[in-house]
Amino acid sequence: MATLHNLKIRNFRGIQNFDQNFDNGLICIIGRGDSGKSTILEAINLALSSSWTTSFYDCDFYNCQTDNPIEIEATIINIPEKQLAKYGMFVRGVAANGNIIDDMESEEANDAMAALTIKLTVTKELEPAWTVITNREQEPIAITAADRAKMNVSSISDYTDRHFSLNKGNPLYTLFKLLGEDGADIDEGNVMLEILRETKTRIDNSIANKFDNVIQKVIETATQLGGNAEGIKASIDHRDISIKENKVCLHESEIPLRLKGKGARRLLSLAIQLSIANPSGIILIDEIEQGLEPDRVQHIVSILAKIMNSQIFLTTHSRNVIVELPCSNLFLMVKNAQSLLNIPSDLQGCVRSNPEALFMKRIIVCEGATEIGICRALDSNRQSANKISLACLGIGIVDGGGNNMVERSKGFDSLGVSTCILCDSDVDNINTVKNELRNIGISIFDCEKNKSIEQQLFADLSWEQIIQLVDYRIQIDGFDNQSVFQSIYSQKQPMPDFTEDWYKTESDELRTLLGNVSKKSDWYKRIDHGTIIGEAIFENFENLAADKKTKQMFEELSNWIDL
């Protein structure tokens, strides 16, 4: 059955121009809510729709500009033989490199796959027209709804209740026909008639048992009156049986499936579609995670990814879906983009650890957990000051994975996502590539040379803030005041005498010791610890001296956020 090779969209809803080639298998389209993911699926569904009654409105046109017609072109390969023969004069070719060929007499066309391009056009009169087109000098020809239906496209959405009835044109009826004896076509006009005859016989037998005494009394009385009433029986009149295909639907026990929850309905609808699509077909699933538990949606996606003979398009906002798929199945849609971006395979590790980042307009790559926590505190501080949150701005915070942050930053930048880095300056092999990153447009907010974030903070913060950080360290992980003191002064011999307020008096020496041991012993290498550090930084940030690197680093980061 049919496979979508190329999709072109012009002036449809939020998409002005779009042109994308597709392969077989699973295509998972991700992106922010206003990027156009669902529009792509709806365009496929409409172009290959089996209905002539589809309604369009002014708001379906890009920016409501009805003078520019909606045009959706779907180029299909693996076309059913009957349709290929019927529209043979309009056959095009798809070369091995994906190019669409119109000169079918050329040498290039010898090894090309046969293709048809179906075009949906909607003008300001709001009347849709479906045609088969080429780029050769020939007039398009109309394609019937019945022929489009044979392309076998199905859509799983919130409106799938009809999938559970045996009405003609519905997926369940299609499956009924496919599973007919010997694969032969079933006489559609007789399907329900035979069912009704069998049903009438069973009902009549039940009625005869219930009304036997009544009938016998009528016969006796009629005989007394001189009439011949032999053979009279109680039965249902054929004209009173109004059961049609759309009255026959799937139930669980006595409950119609249409009354089940959204997730159960979508799952069963998908089961019907996959049964039809085997061995091939096109299935569209918008927001696959709706109504499903995280473990169930992961299970479903893992199964779909293994189906190679069907073409499955799905959209998602779920991290559970993204982490289940290899990058080869993931495609990013950015608002106003003219094609999809495939996620590079070398970003697989980052995608698994930071799936949310793929939905962001801009990204802050943090060297590690401490920096992530500080950024979260910065975001909270912004909101307390009535500034716009990072989420509202479409800015995500990503774990760079230490030394992996360089490649991860390059990967996000390659996707067209504005990227910056918050990091230390104590690793030589990272310091040497910072200028390279800046040259490709990645902003870097880092510490003074050879300093980690902990060393920088203990060098710059006010002593009141430092006391706050030491107090926090004393409180966590079962530490007490004396053990923290000993870890600090183990670097110095002879060790001074312990007193409860050993850290209450400011000194440059103690700043250095605190910075060194906090780095060496990973005092704050957790996101929650980093958040506490951030709260200490930003609580009195305006009082931090302007010449301090900590002040400059986070002011520059804040300016980047507000761009």
In DSSP notation, 257-286 reads GGGS-HHHHHHHHHHHHHHHHTT--EEEES
CB 322 within 8 A of CB 343: no
Q: Report yes or no on 364 lying in a domain.
A: yes
Q: Report yes or no on 104 lying in a domain.
A: no
Q: Report yes or no on 370 lying in a domain.
A: yes
CA 283/CA 313 separation, integer angstroms: 6
CB 257 within 8 A of CB 164: yes
- Please count the other Cβ atoms lying within 10 Å of the Cβ belonging to residue 197: 12
* 3 state DSSP class of 469: helix
* 3 state DSSP class of 106: coil
Q: Report yes or no on 401 lying in a domain.
A: yes
Q: Report yes or no on 109 lying in a domain.
A: no
Q: Report yes or no on 432 lying in a domain.
A: yes
Mean pLDDT for each 10-residue chunk of the chain (563 residues)?
Answer: 93 97 93 91 93 90 96 94 90 94 90 95 96 95 91 69 56 60 48 67 75 71 62 64 54 58 64 58 86 85 82 92 93 93 85 86 94 97 95 92 89 89 94 95 96 97 95 86 90 86 94 94 94 94 94 97 94
CA 318/CA 321 separation, integer angstroms: 5
* Angle (nearest 5°) at CA 408 between 402 and 411: 170
pLDDT of residue 426: 93
Q: What is the pTM of this model?
A: 0.76
CA 115/CA 21 separation, integer angstroms: 13
pLDDT of residue 182: 44
Q: Report yes or no on 157 lying in a domain.
A: no
Considering its fold, how many domains does the chain have in total? 1
- The length of the chain is 563
91 CB-near residues (< 8 Å, 6+ apart): 84, 104, 114, 115, 116
Q: Which domain holds residue 484?
A: 358-561
The DSSP annotation for 443-462 comes to EEEE-STT--HHHHHHHHS-
CA-closest candidate to residue 357, choices 28, 29, 27, 32: 32
Q: Helix 294-305 to helix 262-277 angle, to the nearest 10 degrees?
A: 10
CA-closest candidate to residue 149, choices 289, 250, 52: 52
* 3 state DSSP class of 287: coil
CA 434/CA 447 separation, integer angstroms: 12
CA 498/CA 500 separation, integer angstroms: 7
pLDDT of residue 82: 85
Buried b (16+ CB within 10 A) or exposed e, 74-106: bbbbbbeeebbebbeebbbbbeeeeebbeeeee
Structure-block tokens of residue 464: 């009141």
